Structure 1
Amino acid sequence: MLIVGAVLAVGVATPVAVFKTRSGHPRPASPPSPSVVVPPATSPYQLAVDAAHRTGLRVWLETDLVKNWLAGSDQFRAAVFTVGRLALRPGVVGIKIADEMGYHDGLDSVAKVRAFLRDSATALHAAAPGKLILIDLLVPELGCLPDHDPPLRWATICAVQQRGLYPQLALDKVDGYLGSHTVDVVDLSTDLLPDTTYYGWGVDVPTAQRTAWGEVHTRGWDKVVRLQARKALAHPGDYATSNADTEAALRTYVDIPRTEGAAAVDVWTWRQRYQGQIYRLLDPGLKHNVLWDGLVSRRRQGARLFTHLSPSSLEEGLQADLAVLGQVFTDVFVAAGTG
């Protein structure tokens, strides 16, 4: 991968590193230099970034650099250039570069994952200096009760199977990726199994979640990156889940990770077409539901919450959507328009 080309394409001569504290956590992103002239917003993505910033949200650009990296150096350079220009806008604190990295995305070996992270960090430190780099990571082995005491036979078999299916996402391989200091923030999915599976093992879903996060701390991931949880909670049509089941899901996927040290929780998604249907957190027409009320409650309790927004998929319009979105979320991933 011709990273020098990617750096030169954005007109920056010297990469700038993201400095970390002694604990390994990234320092806050630097604001744009006063000498940088930000052009008026003209594209839907620029307008969305600016509007989210005015709403008081911290803005993260969302791009699939994996797809562009696998497509070759020309497409990778073009995507980095687009992201670098958009990152100049006020309010942008970081860039998400991968969705479930290494999981059915073409990064099917340890060597590919390492090369992708190295190339992306090199290019983005030059194209968007001071911006945090975030990856979305699903680790199948974490759902298998790692280091549960006492060890459980079926959990051990589960872990062996997952390592065989996804060797590039084995726990020890993830240790190396995060220890390379090529990313600053990780949105982590612990890939929990169905509750019936855990009941058969003699445990429950909350126990599995706490065990997974305990393993994360044992391995020291929280010492080298900022760890955040993630969960897809959007639904098609009107929300039909009961109050009790909704609260159980929020406890498992929001409350427990926060108690276990997650700095924030990423909740997919504001509004997106998926498998032929529109998925939302609210009901159609920006109507509240039990899930939304539960998220409002978590925000009032001090939770830092992320969601995803694309200017091409809005319920009523950019300003109207952001006004409601900002009632729950502190941070928003805005699509960068890199394809």
Structure 2
Amino acid sequence: MRLTLRRAVAAGSMLALVGAVAPAAAAHAQDDPRSCRDLLGADTPAYVQCHWLATPEEALGVALFWGADDNAKLKEATPYPGRFIDCSAPGSSCPAPPDGGAEGDENSPLPEDAEEGGTPECETGGQECAVGGYEAGGDGTAAGPETGTGAPRTATGQTGQTAQTARTGQSAQEGQAVTPPTAAEIAAAAQTPGGQAVTAARTTGLRVWLDTELADDWKAGPAAFDAAVKRVGALAARPEVAGIRFSTQLGYDTTFTTHEEVAAFVAAASAALRRAAPGKQLGVHTVVPEFACGAVEACRTEMAKKYPLLAPERIESYLSAGGVDQITLDGGLLRGGYTAWKIDAKTARRNQSIQLRARAWDVLAQVAAEETGLVGDVSAQEVADRIATPLRDGAAQQVNVWTRLQDGQGGAERLTAWDALKRLSPLQRRMAAVYDPATPETDPAADLKKLAEVFGQVYLTTA
């Protein structure tokens, strides 16, 4: 896509506004009477600047000016005349854009990737093309998202296969046979244990996500994968379900060995689920170990070597491709995973927050944090810190909390800090419980009712 001069100037202006091209401005922030940097967090990077367009005192003056004498000045005000021409008015002359506006800038009626003199994608009947990140046929039906691996387009706009998707004969477009479930299939799914848990959760007012794992089914082949997607789609088709998290520990466990394989799975799963459960949000759970290293180069080098599939640019490619609406980052490594470099949990969490804000991943997808360490004997202060810190630092829009954790001896630790969680009631909508109805404490209905006292959302584990 071309970068026009207009966009280049706009980008430069934006960077100048936040201070990225003028780092020296940070040194003078305290002397600037219009600086509002004191409102930013102590860990805010120096290149981020804040300036009042109108100080609180000036804003008050403006409000008093327009509100005086029963809003007299506001009632007398007239719209600003502007600089627009009514082309339909007699005597007006509005020249047409040169060459029909095919140059490809913001004001052009044609997309920027249309070749001069050629036909832009999706404007020729029957031609396959790209629509919103999805491959579409001439009938306008979506046929699956791009994998984000840079596969070249053919002359018809199709993408080539991605390294045979790491499995012989299976393309990144698999799952095309999956269709939305029928009314009978949806009704049958509602009678399953998972369906009954969805009903119970919704009755309590909890916002419901399905938490499932499709990676093993995808690895098992098209038949197993399509069956799993169809099963999940029938359960997710109900209006009570807001979204589907279709993979956990993506790239961290040993399911996949190459980035191409992970990318092909994400593309196939998101494409199939968008057909089987249209309108539902899709999410994945993973971790980005390098984020917590901060500026410690030895830490970053070691993490990149140890977790090659979890490099920031790899994870970001799944978000940029449009197949994922929500990404959840696990906080397990933050506690003790960086002691070799004298990075404690608090510093690791702060480093991760800075990286997330700097990369603006929240623009590409909703970012959530996941806490597995609040089960068992945990202090009220620790509960508050682990839940509130990611939200306060702008590193996450919600925090997911495990309600039960299996230990190494076959036992289980359970969530017990109910009083501490109740004190966080202002954050209730941003707090989600990860709950498996197959291992209830009492029974799913009673458990979910209790969870609804402190959580606003629930991730129901389903097979």
Which TM-score band (shorter chain)? 0.7 to 0.9
Counterpart residue number, 1:232 = 372
Q: Does 1:10 align with 2:10?
A: no
In 2, Cα distance between the equivalents of 1:220 and 1:232? 25
Structure 1 residues 206 and 11: alpha-carbon distance in aligned structure 2, compared to 1, 3 A threshold:
closer
Q: Does 1:116 align with 2:265?
A: yes
Superposition RMSD on alpha carbons, in Å?
Answer: 2.4
CA shift for structure 1 position 95: 0.2
Unpaired stretches in structure 2, ≥5 consecutive residues:
1-169
1:1-339 to structure 2, matched below 5 A, reads 1=170, 6-10=175-179, 38-39=186-187, 41-145=190-294, 148=295, 155-190=296-331, 191-194=333-336, 197=339, 201=342, 204-235=344-375, 239-241=376-378, 243=379, 246-248=380-382, 250-251=384-385, 253-261=386-394, 262-268=396-402, 270-271=403-404, 273-275=406-408, 276-282=410-416, 291-302=417-428, 304-337=430-463
Counterpart residue number, 2:166 = none
Structure 1 residues 301 and 5: alpha-carbon distance in aligned structure 2, compared to 1, 3 A threshold:
closer
In 2, Cα distance between the equivalents of 1:225 and 1:79? 25
What amino acid sits opposite 1:179 in the alignment? S
What amino acid sits opposite 2:346 in the alignment? P
CA shift for structure 1 position 234: 4.8
In 2, Cα distance between the equivalents of 1:156 and 1:249? 31
> How many pairs align?
289
TM-score by length of 1: 0.78
In 2, Cα distance between the equivalents of 1:300 and 1:218? 27
The SS at the match of 2:272 is helix
Q: Please say if residues 383 and 420 of structure 2, whose CA atoms lie closer than 8 Å, have aligned partners that are also in contact.
A: no
Q: Please say if residues 142 and 192 of structure 1, whose CA atoms lie closer than 8 Å, have aligned partners that are also in contact.
A: no
Counterpart residue number, 1:152 = none
Counterpart residue number, 2:94 = none
Identity of aligned residues (%): 31
In 1, Cα distance between the equivalents of 2:400 and 2:361? 18
In 1, Cα distance between the equivalents of 2:377 and 2:347? 26
Structure 1 residues 164 and 318: alpha-carbon distance in aligned structure 2, compared to 1, 3 A threshold:
same
Structure 1 residues 45 and 302: alpha-carbon distance in aligned structure 2, compared to 1, 3 A threshold:
closer
Counterpart residue number, 1:30 = none
Q: Please say if residues 428 and 454 of structure 2, whose CA atoms lie closer than 8 Å, have aligned partners that are also in contact.
A: no
CA shift for structure 1 position 6: 2.9
CA shift for structure 1 position 213: 1.1
CA shift for structure 1 position 166: 1.1
- Report which of the two structures shows the higher radius of gyration computed on alpha carbons: 2
| Of 299-308 and 225-234, the range deviating more from structure 2 | 299-308
Q: Please say if residues 49 and 59 of structure 1, whose CA atoms lie closer than 8 Å, have aligned partners that are also in contact.
A: yes
Unpaired stretches in structure 1, ≥5 consecutive residues:
13-34, 149-154, 283-290
Structure 1 residues 3 and 172: alpha-carbon distance in aligned structure 2, compared to 1, 3 A threshold:
closer
In 2, Cα distance between the equivalents of 1:105 and 1:204? 27
Structure 1 residues 196 and 58: alpha-carbon distance in aligned structure 2, compared to 1, 3 A threshold:
closer
